[in-house]
Amino acid sequence: MQKEAKKPAPKAKRFNLFHRIAHAVVTIGVVGACITGFPLKFKDVAYMGLLTQKMGGVAQMALYHRIFAVMIGSYIATQMLYMGYYFIALRRGVDVSSLSWVLPRKRETLDVPANAMYLLGRRGEPSFKKQVYWGVFDWIVSIAGIWAIVVSGAMVWFPQIVARYIPGTWLNVAYVTHSNGAVLLIVIVFITHFYNIYWSTGHLSDCNIIITGRMTTRRKKLT
């Protein structure tokens, strides 16, 4: 007896075109900036020197790094503009469901103390019917980290302009922030973010959401 083919799970829209393009741009930008920046931070590691040679030397690698930096800066700028559009549209009564998923909502705010009480054994586990609060926190931390890297990177990129307005010692602070912040961002994006969004929720099969913009209807009910 021939086994009946399994029907694919029904899909629902999750991300619009803007979110998908923005995600692709920032992913390429962050990965590219790390590949071209880490050989400078970890220059004492042997294979980092080899990577620098493969990219045509320090000058060529710096050019690539700045191209990726512009991509990251473009991402954060468009995100802020889109957030502004969200609040304007919200006040005008326009449907903003395509963006509201990244913002803290009343449900997530209430889930924080409710989950704390659950961990202390004082009440039952929260239902988490909406997006979990640590997912929202994950997004906020990622955006804050990118902001820190973009601002500090711009200071290092244009030191003469910065030194006209603030003490030059702040350039050392900017360099340390930019260098160590990049390592921290990689940890957040590729470990914490990936775990919160896919692995911990048991939806590893939905990794192509950000490419197709669609997700299973079963998972959409949870968000």
pLDDT score of 1:
44
- Report, as an integer, the average pLDDT of 177-203: 76
pTM of the model: 0.75
Convert the pLDDT of each residue in 35-83 to its tens digit: 998 888 888 888 888 888 888 888 899 999 999 999 999 999 998 888 8
Extended strands (E) in the chain: 11-13, 214-216
What tens digit of pLDDT does each residue of 127-178 get?
Answer: 666 566 676 777 778 888 889 999 999 999 999 999 999 998 899 999 999 9
For 115, residues 6+ apart whose C-beta sits below 8 A from its C-beta are 125, 126, 133
Q: What is the chain's alpha carbon radius of gyration, rounded to the nearest angstrom?
A: 21
The mean pLDDT of 9-25, rounded to a whole number, is 74
Distance CA 199, CA 206 (A): 10
pLDDT at 173: 93
What residue spans define the domains of the chain? 13-220
pLDDT of residue 185: 84
User: What CATH topology corresponds to 13-220?
Assistant: Fumarate Reductase Cytochrome B subunit (1.20.950)
Q: What b/e string do you get for 137-174 counting C-beta neighbours within 10 Å, with b at 16 or more? A: ebbebbbebbebbbebbebbeeeeebeeeeeeebbeeb
Angle at 73 between CA 67 and CA 74, to 5 degrees: 90
